[in-house]
Structure 1
Amino acid sequence: MEQDLDALAARVVDHLDFADFVDTLAADSADHPENWENRSLETFLGAWGEFSRSAESWARNNGEEFPLKLTWRFLAEMLLIAREYE
């Protein structure tokens, strides 16, 4: 059964939650590669960088507050978005 990655990202509050989330993302990339636009490390990191540049606009457009200090949750959300960001 595919996990709700958005719900998992929303529950990340500390470094241990983040580590668990990264483990879940790694498993998801192996189990459901069809859900990943950016399957290679190179394209994933490139997408993460591109999203980082537009993260403030993304937050505003999605009714989210852009954190002035990076939170573990926002870092998890950035990783999740980078799997499909173009």
Structure 2
Amino acid sequence: MTTTKSDSDSKTGETSACQYHCGPTTPCRPRGPERLSEASAAGLRSKGDQWENRTLDSFLEALEAWVGDAPGWYANHGQELPADGDWTFMARALSAARFYE
């Protein structure tokens, strides 16, 4: 897996590379469920030691919290929350669950 885009956090100035190439102005575009699961597993293998939520329990708890807070994330980024969810939503949720508290 290669990352070709870095996004900068306007509040902290920190730059982070999203494995799905998404950010506030660039929507996530995984290539469906196979690509999403492949990228998630590869990210865990290569950089899992950097994840805040390394255990399944903490990851699922963070995933649940982010999904619950997703309307605020979308509003803060000037986007509409997908009514029925989609792969972009899943990619964002899984990516956020790595660090969300």
Give the TM-score range, shorter chain: 0.7 to 0.9
Aligned equivalents of 2:46, 2:71: Cα separation in 1:
31
Number of equivalenced pairs = 83
1:25 Cα offset (Å): 1.2
5+ unaligned residues in a row in structure 2: which ranges? Answer: 4-17
Deviations 1:37-59 (A, max 9, x none): 11111100000001111110111
With the length of structure 2 as denominator, give the TM-score of the two structures: 0.70
- Greater RCO structure (CA 8 Å; 6+ sep): 1
Structure with more helix by fraction: 1
5+ unaligned residues in a row in structure 1: which ranges? Answer: none
Partner of 1:41: 56
Aligned equivalents of 1:66, 1:42: Cα separation in 2:
26
Amino acid corresponding to residue 88 of structure 2 in structure 1: R
Identity %, equivalent residues: 31
Q: Is the aligned partner of 1:70 residue 2:88?
A: no
Q: Is the aligned partner of 1:5 residue 2:19?
A: yes
When the two chains are superposed, the root-mean-square deviation of aligned CA atoms in Å is 2.1
